[in-house]
Amino acid sequence: MTEPETPPRSRWHPSLLLQWYARAVVWLRWLVVAFWVAAAAAVYTFVPAYGTGGNDLEQLISADNPAVRSELQSVQKFGFPVLSRVAVVQRNPAGLSTETQTKAVARAKAVSDGTYPDAKPIVAAVPVMNTLGLFPGSTEDGTTIVTLLFTDPSVTFAGQQEAAEQFVAKHYDASDAVVGITGSVPARVEQTRLVLDSVPRLELITVIAVFLIIAVVFRSLLAPLLALGVAGIAILLTLHIGGAVADRLGVPVPQETQPLLVALLLGVVTDYVVFYLAAVRNLLESGTTRLDAARQATARFTPIIATAGATAAAGTAALLVADSPAFRAFGPGMALAILIGMLVAVTLVPALLAIFGGAAFWPSRRHRRQRPVAVTELSAGRRTGWTWLLTRRWFAAPMFLLLVAALITMASPALHLRLGVSFVEALPTNHPARTAAAQAETGFADGILSPTELLVQGSGIAGRQAELARLQQELTQVPGIAGVLGPGTGALPPGLELFRAADGTAVRYLLILSDEPLGGTAVQTLTRLERQLPGLVQNAGLGDAQTSLGGDTAIAKVIVDQTVHDLGRIAVAALIANLVFLMLFLRAFIAPLGLLACSVLAIGATLGLTTWVFQDFYGNDGLTFYVPFAAAVLLVALGSDYNIFGIGPAWREARGRPLREALAITLPQSAHAIRTAAFTLAVSLGLLALVPLRPFRELAFALSVGILIDAFIVRSLLAPMLLTVLGSAVEPATVEEPPPAYERDPEPAVPVAREPEPVETRMLSTERPPERA
């Protein structure tokens, strides 16, 4: 008895949805292009640009930062702050005249008394001189004056800098030997200005670089224009829609992220375009018609690109789990940018390739019909190539261990990584604010412009002269502290009582650190002081007093501590997100774990090299606090992209043949495409170094080197060797997939005048025929 016929499994197979999607995009190609062009024009016209709200990094400091609370308590107790973030520097290495020093004192008193109404919004000024014997820690005598300017707190940072510039222009002359205006506030203002000024030049150079790379790879002038056009639409949509979404959600998005977003989108979208272009070109070379090639490439690469984009977006969105406002601000912008880029790529690129076909590769002639190459020929021809070696266990096992050892060695410098928050030191060495800071530090100590405030509170504490003097002496003995100003210090003009509260319940000290105040060493000094402080207060006889620390270094310490605390949850969230997507895509468990471990090795090597270059070789005082973690999250996300691009085709092919054979067949083409895409992305992100700020150069180096390590070492060598060593433990299950729709039921509107290809030649798109002479 014959069993009743059951409907074929292919009727409900997911691949059928991909085939219908591919046919729909190709059929509606003109409408798809018109839609994205109209969307870009609409958001450009009606939606404000990203970052026009004036958000920048100073808004990302949490209001409940303990250092900020300490400063507010100090102002409440004393009625005015003792910390200033804007300073006028006067210096003459040969010595400032007595007249100049006298004028500085009189000028500051006039400002504080309100005699200079044109100095508004500056409400007070305090001159600090390095006259020998008055300022602790100074080795020079009468060469430098740092006048600290205090401004109404409601004034913006840009307003404070402008007020200082006008004050200097009106009340100083050539005889006053003014070097310049500096401090953390001018440095922040200048950083934002340098970033925004760099964006046009960065975009232009990046576009030129991407154009040249794709033009060389595809030997075409139109292929790079197509890629840049798609990336341009994605960038335009991101910068406008991203800003609108951020405003709606109330998430501050720093303007400083705009260069990173532009470079990331250019690189990521170009990655996606490269894979579509390579697939269509190979299909055209095999004799496939224009529309058929667009359909096949869309059906084959859309799930890979969609999974890669979703994985990358999920990885960057993992920053949302952080407590740090800085990380929470970076996360949504990066994730939204990648999602928009992916959505544009999987719709607009197939539509454009369906329209242009072989013309997209003009003037190259390589898309002409070539003789098909069977898989049997391909496999035989590769038996002595590098892919054949990678899939032999006797070669893969020792080489795998050797590469792992090399990556661990490269990662070792990260063990002594220090983190800091750079403002003045991040500026170019010839910038006026940094030059003025260097002159002030030469005359005093490295921490003169950003002293740390120690607030000591207790009943009647201001009258306990002996104990306060003993505490001041104890503080000067702490390693890393160059000098201490406090009750009884004679370094300030008479009549300026800055250190004792009027009600006698509080005193404050200014601690001048001997290192860059926002660098990694200063942060470590403050961490050590915080641990020692209870004992120091007890030894001075003030055991019942309450203490707190304020100032830029104290704020930086809280930010660094918070960043390190966030590391665990960010790493776990990012790795879990990437692991889940890999498991869903590969329908496996062990292989995704191994591939993710390879990504972690690549990230460790990247951070180790970055530490060695900037901290050990160039001698910088640590890395900017957010660079290692932002780079790690982005590299995990982008590394999963290359996992999917590299292993995805082999995994699909391995459902009908042994995994080692599938790797040997698919690796040559997938590795070539990955290296092309990775090199383009590395150049795009590496050009962030054109922004003349140290954090951008650190981030550019980390991202570009990390992407190259991931593509050229991990995905091309380490991951295939790992799968070869694991062998049958990671073999994918055999799945009988239905033939593609274009082979079963050709579209009537576009007849295909050729027989369906036999199984052994269906993988033709994974290898290009030899060049013509």
pLDDT digits (tens, 9 = 90+) for 443-488: 888 888 888 999 999 988 988 889 998 999 899 889 999 888 888 6
User: pTM for the full model?
Assistant: 0.82
Q: Given this model, what pLDDT does residue 208 score?
A: 93
Residues 239 and 286 in one domain: yes
Residues 280 and 316 in one domain: yes
Residue 644 lies in a domain: no
Q: Given this model, what pLDDT does residue 311 score?
A: 82
Q: Is the pLDDT of residue 134 over 80?
A: no
Q: Given this model, what pLDDT does residue 253 score?
A: 58
CATH of the domain at 212: 1.20.1640.10
Residues 464 and 497 in one domain: yes
**Among the listed ranges 139-153, 259-273, 655-669, which one has the minimum average pLDDT value?**
655-669
Residues 149 and 205 in one domain: no
Helices (H), 540-626: 552-586, 590-611
Q: Identify which of 3-17, 45-59, 652-666, 698-712 has the greatest average pLDDT.
A: 698-712
Residues 39 and 107 in one domain: no
In the numeric block, the tokens 């300022």 are attached to 135
Q: Given this model, what pLDDT does residue 496 score?
A: 54
CB atoms within 10 A of CB 394: 8
Domain that holds residue 366: 6-46+198-372
Query: Which residues are registered as beta bridge partners of 500?
Result: 507
Residue 393 lies in a domain: no
Q: Span 255-265, mean pLDDT? A: 74
Q: Span 33-44, mean pLDDT? A: 93
Domain boundary (504, 528, 557) is at 557
Residues 457 and 496 in one domain: yes
Residue 756 lies in a domain: no
Looking at per-residue pLDDT, the higher value among 490 and 249 belongs to 249
Q: 77-92: per-residue pLDDT in tens?
A: 888 788 889 999 999 9
> 50 in the Ramachandran plot: left (φ > 0), alpha (ψ -120 to 50) or beta?
beta
Cα(199)–Cα(502) distance, rounded to whole angstroms? 50
Q: Given this model, what pLDDT does residue 246 score?
A: 64
Residue 656 lies in a domain: no
The pLDDT > 90 percentage for the chain reads 30
CATH of the domain at 471: 3.30.70.1320
Q: Given this model, what pLDDT does residue 162 score?
A: 93
Q: Given this model, what pLDDT does residue 558 score?
A: 87
Q: Beta strand 122-129 with 178-182: parallel, antiparallel or unpaired?
A: unpaired
Q: Given this model, what pLDDT does residue 4 score?
A: 44
Q: 591-633: per-residue pLDDT in tens?
A: 888 888 898 999 999 999 999 999 999 989 999 988 888 888 8
Q: Given this model, what pLDDT does residue 707 score?
A: 92
Q: Beta strand 419-420 with 623-624: parallel, antiparallel or unpaired?
A: parallel
Residue 311 lies in a domain: yes
Tell me if 144 sits within 8 A of 132, measured CB to CB.
no
CATH of the domain at 130: 3.30.70
Residue 708 lies in a domain: no
- Cα torsion for 89, 93, 98, 101, to the nearest 10°? 10
Number of domains composing the chain: 3
Average pLDDT in the chain: 81
Q: Span 149-177, mean pLDDT? A: 89
Nearest CA among 256, 95, 240 for reference residue 187:
256
Helices (H), 587-693: 590-611, 627-653, 659-686
Q: Is the pLDDT of residue 494 over 70?
A: no
Q: Is the pLDDT of residue 53 over 60?
A: no
Q: Given this model, what pLDDT does residue 133 score?
A: 58
Looking at per-residue pLDDT, the higher value among 212 and 318 belongs to 212
Looking at per-residue pLDDT, the higher value among 567 and 272 belongs to 272
Domain boundary (349, 372, 395) is at 372
Dihedrals φ, ψ of 181, to 5°?
Answer: -110, 135
Residue 326 lies in a domain: yes
Q: Span 501-530, mean pLDDT? A: 90
DSSP summary character for residue 508 = E
Residues 360 and 245 in one domain: yes
**Residue positions counted in the chain:** 773
Q: Given this model, what pLDDT does residue 770 score?
A: 42
Residue 713 lies in a domain: no
Q: Given this model, what pLDDT does residue 669 score?
A: 74
Residues 171 and 308 in one domain: no
Residues 257 and 358 in one domain: yes
Domain boundary (525, 557, 589) is at 557
- What the block records as the tokens of 447 is 């921490």
